[in-house]
Amino acid sequence: MTNKGREFEIERYRIDQEPFYVESQGEVGLFTTAAQNRMPVMLKGPTGCGKTRFVQHMAYRLGRPLITVACHEDLTASDLVGRYLLRGQETVWIDGPLTLGVKHGAIVYLDEIVEARKDTTVIIHPLTDDRRLLPIEKKGQIIEAVDEFLLVISYNPGYQSVLKDLKQSTKQRFVAIEFDYPAPAVETRIIEREAGVTGEVARALVKLGEKVRNLKHHGLEEGVSTRLLVYAGTLIRQGVEPGRACEVSVARPITDDADMQRTIGELIKAVF
């Protein structure tokens, strides 16, 4: 508890405890091979299916620090590479997350890369060539990545639009591993563990998750993530009535449509 609230040094990006992750289709081996051969990796899949947890797990397994950057449309190349800052009377250079990773051999994870501005997207091009270089224009320098550096991006194909899509000249620099929601047995184990509920409750929640995800073909924008099912489980463990717990954790967050909320409400009743 004394640990909380103070500022961490940048090398603390290393993950000390093994993040819980259950493999589904050989992705651990594939990622390991890619990392050993310095091949950039793209994680494809819907919201909340475990991409972020997987990369945390792999960073732990490979013993490399993990630097995560949530991309957005105002993220500049400088935000990634670094900038000069005034500190009192002195100007000091602060390495950005990408430069940090390139120098110290971290996994740099650019989450939702399609959201980034084009200059951010393009800065990774020379890093994904066989020469693995990062030009730092502001310092007139060029850095070669250490062997342990690995670039990983996530990409949700469902979001793709004309305005926000990766260029082929970017896409074709990555090995792509596809993700989907965990299999029922796996998801049950996750919920049991993270929400601290019985197997029975966990199985009911997984069943609800499956039913809600099927609604995606009937107008629901996106299926429910494992995280929200864990939220529901946690509330149930704390004594919240299961129907209410699922309403506030599942039905309300994922849709504003009254009909869809009613439909999900009936699914909740059917399960509990």
Restricting to residues 88-127, name those near its own copies by CB under 8 A.
Answer: 88-91, 94-97, 102-105, 111-112, 115, 117-119, 121-123, 125-126
Among 14, 18, 63, 137, binds its own copies (CB under 8 A): 137
Best CA proximity match to 182, nearest among 18, 23, 19, 20: 23
18 is a site residue for its own copies (CB under 8 A): no
To its own copies, the closest distance from the beta carbon of 122 in angstroms equals 4
Closer by beta carbon to its own copies, 72 or else 262: 72
175 is a site residue for its own copies (CB under 8 A): yes
211 is a site residue for its own copies (CB under 8 A): no
To its own copies, the closest distance from the beta carbon of 200 in angstroms equals 21
- At 206 the three-state DSSP class reads helix
Contact status, residue 221 vs residue 46, Cβ threshold 8 Å: no
Closer by beta carbon to its own copies, 32 or else 198: 32
User: How far is Cα 102 from Cα 178, in angstroms, rounded to an integer?
Assistant: 25
Supply 169's token pair.
């000249």
Give me the half-sphere count of Cα atoms (radius 13 Å) on the Cβ side of residue 141. 12
User: How far is Cα 37 from Cα 64, in angstroms, rounded to an integer?
Assistant: 15
Closer by beta carbon to its own copies, 186 or else 234: 234
Binding segment for its own copies (CB under 8 A), chosen from 32-40, 181-189, 206-214, 262-270, is: 32-40
263 is a site residue for its own copies (CB under 8 A): no
Among 147, 200, 219, 270, binds its own copies (CB under 8 A): 147
210 is a site residue for its own copies (CB under 8 A): no
Residue 54 neighbours by CB under 8 Å, 6+ apart: 21, 27, 31, 43, 179
Number of Cβ atoms within 10 Å of the Cβ of 67: 19
Contact status, residue 229 vs residue 193, Cβ threshold 8 Å: no
Among 61, 139, 207, 211, binds its own copies (CB under 8 A): 139
Among 54, 109, 174, 181, binds its own copies (CB under 8 A): 174
To its own copies, the closest distance from the beta carbon of 4 in angstroms equals 4
To its own copies, the closest distance from the beta carbon of 222 in angstroms equals 4
156 is a site residue for its own copies (CB under 8 A): yes
Among 37, 163, 218, 259, binds its own copies (CB under 8 A): 37
Indicate the helix (H) or strand (E) that contains 258: helix 258-271
Contact status, residue 134 vs residue 109, Cβ threshold 8 Å: no
Q: Which amino acid is at 101?
A: G
Number of Cβ atoms within 10 Å of the Cβ of 168: 8
